[in-house]
Amino acid sequence: MREWEDHPHQTPPCSCQQLLKRSKFAAVDTIDGHIVSPAALVVLPEPLQTALQFSASSQIWPSLEWFVKQFKQSIKQWSDDNKMPFFPLQSCDSFVRAHWQQHLQAAKGSITFDDVQHLRKLFSNLVVFGQDHQPDHVMIFCPMRFWKMVHDTFFDQTVYTDTSLTAQQAHDRVCSNIPANLKRDLPWAWQYKQPLPFAYVLPKQKKAWTTARPIIAYSKSPIGIGLKAAALVLARVTKLVFPDSFDGNLVSIFHDLHRFFRGAPVDQALTFVNDDLIGFFTSIPQDRILHSVREVLQRYMQAVRCDHTHTFSVTLHEEQFPGQVFKGKTSAKQVNIQQLLQIVELSFKANMFVALGTVFAQVRGSTIGNQVSPIISSITVMMQEHQWQQDFSAFRSNNRWSFFARRYVDNRFIIFAQELRRTSALRALCDLDFYQAPVEIEVVHDNHFLGFNVDVTHRSVRFMMPKHAWQFRLPTSAGCKSHMLSSFRSRASLILQHTLPLEHVAEDIERLFHMYIKFGYSSQLLKPICDRMLSKVKRPAE
């Protein structure tokens, strides 16, 4: 995308027809004659073919020259930091070069720097990228088709507007939009030297690659720290205001689901609805979001009997609790309710970013990638859910073990007894306009929820096994063994924590073990992790 910054409206050339005549590209997927395909369908000699099949997160060993340069810089930095005498850098150079052949022998079979350079040359006339929900799946795109997808995404005037500003002008405006009292009272929240956020996209396969999910990288931006602090505090506020909210994280959702399945009558026939909220971030009007945030803060002040000067203590690494006393040195920061609302308002006034060499501002919804976006967008739909809970409080109290509803960001999963389907409560909740236009609900026609299969008939929650090579790092990926095995450890931990019933834990970890073996991993390295995980299984009381 950065190559197109100088000419954002100029369509890049298409070389698809020339490439498709080459035997290497004979089997790739196309749309209307343009290449849009998994890179693994390109026919190449080993190990290049294998490299394209596995995850884009696989690592490679650097070239000799790059490693020597980095090694010398690290030694010099270490010497300077520790006030050591000058270290002869030429000795570093000689040491690395003398032992490089041993490194090459140890790393034999790994993808090399030269291999990657070969792939870059081969795909120089294509765009190599991931896709929405599968960022590690290496895809190749016709640059003309990819450019059109990006262009249509950001030049959609219902969501974005071209500010006609330069990046420096926009940066200055963002900084000037920070209220004077916030600059004075929260100096830790602003990083004036950080650049304006930049945007990238994740192409959507389910939309035939015509649209993409826009991501705005706010992590290192002038207001990023302030937004993160506001997000942490608002998450705490909503837990008090909406204690029975549908919204939850993975751990709390599956904990509640396990409890529901264990409590539901065994002879009760259950069914479910799985759906997504379309345009969760980009469709909700900004004034509606602000109104919802103000309403939630007002309800919080009424609940705890405080005013807008009420202060929260928060760290940027882990959530703390209101009124907690900190002893000794602490990194906790103080934010009051008035400042909190100002930061949310600032997130809309300063929501400018760079894409295709153009500075855009988002005029509808909240930007994906902005640290405060998930919680303020969620607050808006929480208001609708809370109203439903009040309107149908008798339904909820009478059907504790016949009704379950949870939402993770924009994915909602509802379970209920079949005889409840035609009740007014369920009809209202499952109405496609439940969250009010322009937020729409799209039904998902499967039982997949947060990476698990939820079987309401058998009351089971089973991990969805990775089945494709792109879901695994290369077994010969560069790096330490611990990093190499981290995905297996994480997946096995998810099985251990969230599988129901417990009798399936050992079976599913064993299935995961054999899946990794299938894709070339060492059983000797995996087995100790399996054994440790299985030793933690809590057996049901006999």
Taking only the tens of pLDDT, the chain with its 542 residues reads: 667 777 777 899 999 999 999 999 999 999 999 999 999 999 999 889 999 999 999 998 888 888 888 888 888 888 888 887 766 767 777 888 888 888 888 888 788 888 999 999 999 999 999 999 999 999 999 999 999 999 999 999 999 999 999 999 999 999 999 999 999 999 999 999 999 999 999 999 988 999 999 999 998 899 999 999 999 999 999 999 999 999 999 999 999 999 999 999 999 999 999 999 988 899 899 999 999 999 999 999 999 999 999 999 988 865 444 444 444 455 789 999 999 999 999 999 999 999 998 999 999 999 999 999 999 999 999 999 999 999 999 999 999 999 999 999 999 999 999 999 999 999 999 999 999 988 999 999 999 999 999 999 999 999 999 999 999 999 988 888 898 999 999 999 999 999 999 999 999 999 999 999 999 999 999 999 999 998 888 655 44
Cα–Cα distance measured from residue 464 to residue 218, given in angstroms and rounded to the nearest whole number:
31
Bridge partners of residue 202, in order along the sequence: 213
- N- to C-terminal Cα separation, the chain: 60
Helices (H), 218-372: 224-241, 250-263, 286-304, 337-349
Q: Is the separation of the CB atoms in 245 and 378 below 8 Å?
A: no
Q: Any idea what the Cα angle at residue 470 is, between residues 38 and 449, rounded to 5°?
A: 105
Q: Which residues contact 248 (CB under 8 A, 6 or more apart)?
A: 256, 406, 407, 408
- The Cα–Cα gap between 379 and 235 comes to 9
Torsion of CA 46, 47, 52, 56, to 10 degrees: 180
**Ranges of H-type helices in 155-268:** 167-177, 180-185, 224-241, 250-263
DSSP state of 438: T
Give the integer Cα–Cα distance in Å for 531 and 540.
Answer: 19
**pLDDT tens-digit map of 290-334:** 999 999 999 999 999 999 999 999 888 654 444 444 444 557 899
Please report the sign of the dihedral spanned by the C-alpha atoms of residue 343, residue 344, residue 350, residue 352. Answer: positive
Angular region, 149: left φ>0, alpha ψ -120 to 50, beta rest: alpha
Secondary structure element (H or E) that encloses residue 274, with its range: strand 270-278
Query: Encoding tokens for residue 28?
Result: 């790739």
Q: Is 281:377 a contact under the CB 8 Å cutoff? A: yes
Question: What DSSP designation does 191 have?
Answer: -
Distance from the Cα of residue 165 to its chain's centroid: 30
Q: Letter for the amino acid at 175?
A: C
Q: Are 435 and 285 in contact (CB under 8 A)?
A: no
- pLDDT digits over 137-182, tens only? 999 999 999 999 999 999 999 999 999 999 999 999 999 999 999 9
pTM for the model: 0.88
* Overall size of the chain counted in residues: 542
Structure tokens belonging to residue 404: 């379950």
416-443: b or e for each residue (b if 16 or more CB lie within 10 Å)? bbeebeebebbeebbeeebbeebbbbee
HSE-up of 264 (CA within 13 Å, CB side)? 25
CB 199 within 8 A of CB 355: yes
By C-alpha distance, which of 179, 199, 198 is closest to 189?
179
92 C-beta neighbours (distance < 10 Å), count: 17
Rounded to an integer, what distance in angstroms lies between the CA atom of residue 159 and that of residue 201?
15
Beta strands (DSSP E) in 280-434 are 311-314, 333-336, 352-355, 358-362, 403-408, 411-417
Q: Could you tell me which of 506, 539, 511, 487 has the C-alpha nearest to residue 59? A: 487
Closest C-alpha to 358, from 165, 168, 212, 202: 165
